[in-house]
């Protein structure tokens, strides 16, 4: 390298930072949050085996530490997931998604999200207009009635129901079972299915309801089924399938399975513990 | 018993002792939902004042749920020492508080006193105590129990390694156990909540965790937190159980909803004595928490805190190795926010200890509560200062099966380090042998699960 180019090189280096500083002051900066499973243990004995272990579970393992505390990015990942889960509870299911699935929108007695969360009873009963709507518009005396409930996760309804519902409907149709019009009930809990069943006079009522969101997923749906609920029904009469979402029991598979179960309940005229016993005999 | 209180030109009336107890509670959403909490701040204070003047015999003679109607009430009363009760029957609840806090009262005095108290008296005195009162009183009491390890020795803090997996994948569970062990978590128990409750599946996880413990010669105990009857079936079929789990509540109706009774618990204990793998003789791991009765509509008009105390009165009958309090697991309809959750943790730790129980705490929150990681860590620090025996250890604090947050492996290590507490004695030696801990501090190897490859 000749002297000239060395001088140029040095000049460039001297200019460099100055130039960069100016850019940082004036230009906009964009930060893109990104999550990727990574082994962040410092100098592990076997990094590959930790990476392999991470593939076997959604649990937060192989993340290492700073002293006894989490590393910054892992800590923020946790807080981001918590924030998403909190928002999932307080968000309503978008009307457009319900329209697309052709689901009429009914309402519980809960007038606000706060009331819904703090008073279990209001989410277990329909409001007057919804009762009237069901009386006037719902097909009566069918074998099966499907309810979609937001429960504690609107994200679950938005992400999982579009696959789960058609799969369940298709399964029931293939078995030649008669079905009322599926409905969506805003701010509703499981026990509201008893009131709906009595209003539409069906045999089996199934609620597809958004589960309490976790950090790993806020998309999970549970199905609660009961055969001819009445005032003597107890919790043990309900059959429950939980963990329906892409990372758990896949929605399409779950829909097909639920239609099998419903057929079995109609055959045995029972649900819950009674159904489980009859089925195994 | 009708009670009246004049306070600041107002007259407050109470229908019963149960009514006074409910209204004297610090505000909690579950008591509000049940329609039994105080209607105003001054009504709360009027009931606290009435409570402070009541004698212990007033509480003894007016059970909140009749003896004839409720198994929990029966066990509580039958286990009271009549001799010790007679010595203190004339004390007021206010005097009981001062006795507990007095410099001249030590842990052994409280251990004896405990046998003369009903659970309702213990709940009552806690209602007259502030956060500092509860922490200082809790510090005086430390109760030991033995399964394979000894829990509750002074200067030691234990953890349950809680390696749950959403669909019980054995490799996934194993990986989370190894991660936990590498942080020094797992001396209380390696305890897995199963997603699949079938006997075959529960037996498989029991065997897997037992074999891991054998292979690495870990001084601890295994447990799969299925329903007690499922664990009993697995045990009868020869599955290795070191510690038997069950959730308990404070009314007979709620326990029926949980599918548990004195008869089942007696059978479980006997079965563990004959077929369990551990030394014992403390064979049970119980979980409790404020709010379960109200969410099952089985509260009988009694406040959440008093029902929690009654749960402890019931639990101690079977001499458990661990009682874990999980107030905060249910949701905002029982505990609205971090403040209510922290208060519960302090009350429950104190009440459990005053029942002579080897208490641990799980400061927890769900995602629909007004609560976050900061509240949870505050509860963890306060109850560690107050001398809890153990906490849970969940990878990254995120239980991917039960969908709630609990203390993490990192928190476990932090709580020990903060107060210079050591793992359980046998387990500490094992950690040293494995190169994970030295002189009570984690080594460079800690946090690396591949040391168990």
Q: DSSP string spanning A198-224?
A: HHHT-SEEEEEEEPPP-SS-S--EEEE
CA distance A206 to chain B (A): 22
Taking only Cα atoms into account, the Rg of chain A, rounded to an integer number of angstroms, comes to: 27
Token pair, residue B296, equals 């099952």
Q: Answer whether residue B65 shows pLDDT above 90.
A: yes
- Helix or strand holding residue B179 (H, E): helix B170-182
> Does ipTM top 0.85?
yes
* Chain B residues inside the 8 Å CB shell of A222: none
CA distance B9 to chain A (A): 33
Q: Name the pLDDT band for B401 (thresholds 50, 70, 90).
A: confident
Cα dihedral across residues A95, A99, A101, A104: positive or negative = positive
What is the percent of chain B with per-residue pLDDT over 70, rounded to a whole number? 100
Question: Testing the interface with A: which of B367, B381, B412, B414 to mutate, by most A Cβ within 10 A?
Answer: B367
* Average pLDDT score over residue span B317-322: 98
Q: Name the pLDDT band for B402 (thresholds 50, 70, 90).
A: confident
The answer to whether residue B120 is domain-embedded is no
The answer to whether residue B251 is domain-embedded is yes
The per-residue b/e assignment along B347-362, b for 16 or more CB within 10 angstroms, e otherwise, is: bbbbbbbbbbbbbbbb
What's B59's DSSP letter?
A: H
Nearest CA in chain B to A234: B257
Q: Does B414 touch chain A (CB under 8 A)?
A: yes
Quick one: chain A helix, strand, coil %, rounded to 5?
50, 15, 35
User: Residue B224: which domain range?
Assistant: 145-452
Q: Answer whether residue A87 shows pLDDT above 90.
A: no
- With a CB cutoff of 8 Å and minimum separation 6, the contacts of A137 are A104, A181
**Shortest CA distance to A150 belongs to which of A218, A204, A99?**
A218
CA distance A99 to chain B (A): 27
- Torsion, Cα of B300, B303, B307, B308 (10° steps): 150
The answer to whether residue B186 is domain-embedded is yes
Q: Answer whether residue B258 shows pLDDT above 90.
A: no
Do the chains contact at B447 and A41, CB–CB below 8 Å? yes
Least confident among A12-16, A254-258, B13-17, B253-257 = A12-16
The answer to whether residue B162 is domain-embedded is yes
pLDDT at A15: 59
- Torsion, Cα of B405, B406, B410, B412 (10° steps): 180
**Cα(B134)–Cα(B126) distance, integer angstroms:** 7
Give me the number of domains chain B comprises.
1
Nearest CA in chain A to B370: A86
Instruction: Give residue for tokens 């029972």.
Output: A270
The answer to whether residue B17 is domain-embedded is no
pLDDT tens-place string over residues B329-362? 888 999 999 999 999 999 999 999 999 999 999 9
Give the Cα-Cα-Cα angle B341, B342, B346 (nearest 5 degrees).
Answer: 120
The per-residue b/e assignment along A68-77, b for 16 or more CB within 10 angstroms, e otherwise, is: bebbeebbeb
The answer to whether residue B39 is domain-embedded is no
pLDDT tens-place string over residues A40-69? 999 999 999 999 999 999 999 999 999 999
pLDDT at B166: 85
pLDDT at B111: 98
pLDDT at B58: 98
CATH of the domain at B152: 3.20.20.70
Question: Testing the interface with B: which of A52, A57, A248 to mutate, by most B Cβ within 10 A?
Answer: A57
**Does B97 sit behind a cis peptide bond, omega within 30 degrees of 0 on the bond before it?**
no
Q: Answer whether residue B146 shows pLDDT above 90.
A: yes
The answer to whether residue B241 is domain-embedded is yes
* Chain A residues inside the 8 Å CB shell of B169: 56-57
The answer to whether residue B42 is domain-embedded is no
pLDDT at B41: 96
Nearest CA in chain B to A71: B410
pLDDT at B136: 98
């Amino acid at each position: 390298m000749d002297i000239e180019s060395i001088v140029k090189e040095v000049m460039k280096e001297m200019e460099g930072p100055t130039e960069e500083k100016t850019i940082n002051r004036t230009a906009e900066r964009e930060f893109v949050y990104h999550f990727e499973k990574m082994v962040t243990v410092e100098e592990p004995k076997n990094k590959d085996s930790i990476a392999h272990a991470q593939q076997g579970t959604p649990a937060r393992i192989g993340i290492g530490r700073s002293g006894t505390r989490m590393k910054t990015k892992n800590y923020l990942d946790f807080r981001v997931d918590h924030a998403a889960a909190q928002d999932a509870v307080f968000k309503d299911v978008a009307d457009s998604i319900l329209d697309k699935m052709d689901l009429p929108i009914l309402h519980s007695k809960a007038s606000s999200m706060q009331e819904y969360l703090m008073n279990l009873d209001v989410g277990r009963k329909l409001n007057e207009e919804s009762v009237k709507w069901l009386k006037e518009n719902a097909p009566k005396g069918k074998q099966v009635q499907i309810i979609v409930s937001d429960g504690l996760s609107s994200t679950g309804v938005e992400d999982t129901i579009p696959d789960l519902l058609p799969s369940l409907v298709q399964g029931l149709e293939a078995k030649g079972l008669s079905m009322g019009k599926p409905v969506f009930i805003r701010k509703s809990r499981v026990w509201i299915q008893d009131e709906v069943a009595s209003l539409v006079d069906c045999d089996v009522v199934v609620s597809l309801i958004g589960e309490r969101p976790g950090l790993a997923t806020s998309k999970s749906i549970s199905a609660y089924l009961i055969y001819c609920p009445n005032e003597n029904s107890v919790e043990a009469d309900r059959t429950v399938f939980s963990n329906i979402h892409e990372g758990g029991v896949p929605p399409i598979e779950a829909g097909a399975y639920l239609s099998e179960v419903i057929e079995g309940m109609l055959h045995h005229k029972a649900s819950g513990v009674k159904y489980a016993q009859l089925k195994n005999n | 018993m009708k009670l009246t209180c004049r306070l600041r030109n107002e007259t407050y009336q109470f229908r019963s002792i149960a009514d006074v107890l409910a209204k004297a509670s610090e505000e909690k959403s579950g008591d509000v939902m049940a329609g039994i909490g105080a209607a105003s701040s001054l009504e709360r204070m009027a009931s606290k004042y009435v409570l402070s003047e009541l004698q212990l015999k007033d509480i003894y003679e007016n059970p909140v749920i009749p003896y004839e109607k409720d198994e929990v009430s029966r066990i509580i009363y039958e286990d009271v020492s009549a001799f010790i009760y007679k010595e203190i029957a004339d004390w007021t609840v206010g005097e009981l508080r001062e006795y507990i806090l007095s410099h001249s009262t030590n842990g052994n005095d409280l251990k004896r006193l405990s046998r003369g108290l009903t659970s309702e008296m213990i709940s009552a005195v806690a209602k007259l105590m502030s956060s500092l009162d509860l922490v200082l009183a809790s510090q005086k009491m430390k109760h030991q129990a033995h399964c394979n390890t000894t829990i509750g020795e002074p200067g030691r803090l234990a953890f349950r390694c809680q390696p749950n997996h959403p669909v019980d994948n054995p490799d996934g569970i194993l990986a989370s156990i190894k991660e936990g062990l590498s942080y020094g978590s797992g001396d209380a128990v390696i305890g897995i909540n199963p997603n699949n409750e079938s006997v075959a599946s529960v037996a498989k996880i029991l065997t897997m965790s037992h074999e891991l413990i054998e292979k690495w010669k870990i001084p601890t105990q295994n447990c799969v937190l299925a329903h007690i009857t499922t664990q009993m079936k697995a045990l009868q079929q020869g599955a290795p159980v070191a510690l038997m789990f069950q959730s308990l509540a404070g009314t007979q109706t709620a326990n029926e909803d949980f599918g548990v009774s004195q008869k089942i618990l007696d059978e479980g204990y006997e079965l563990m004595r004959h077929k369990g793998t551990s030394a014992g003789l403390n064979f049970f791991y119980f979980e409790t928490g404020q709010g379960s009765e109200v969410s099952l509509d089985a509260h009988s008009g009694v406040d959440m805190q008093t029902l929690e105390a009654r749960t402890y009165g019931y639990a101690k009958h079977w001499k458990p190795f661990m009682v874990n309090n999980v107030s905060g697991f249910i949701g905002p309809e029982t505990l609205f926010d971090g403040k209510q959750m922290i208060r519960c943790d302090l009350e429950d730790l104190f009440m459990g200890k005053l029942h002579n129980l080897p208490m641990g705490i799980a400061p927890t929150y769900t995602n629909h509560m007004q609560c976050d990681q900061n509240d949870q860590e505050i509860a963890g620090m306060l109850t560690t200062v107050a001398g809890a025996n153990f906490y849970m250890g969940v990878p990254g604090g995120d239980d991917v099966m039960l969908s709630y947050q609990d203390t993490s492996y990192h928190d476990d290590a932090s709580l020990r380090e903060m107060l210079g507490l050591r793992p359980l004695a046998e387990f500490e030696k094992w950690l040293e042998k494995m190169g994970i801990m030295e002189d009570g501090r984690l080594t460079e190897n800690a946090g690396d699960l591949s040391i168990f490859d």
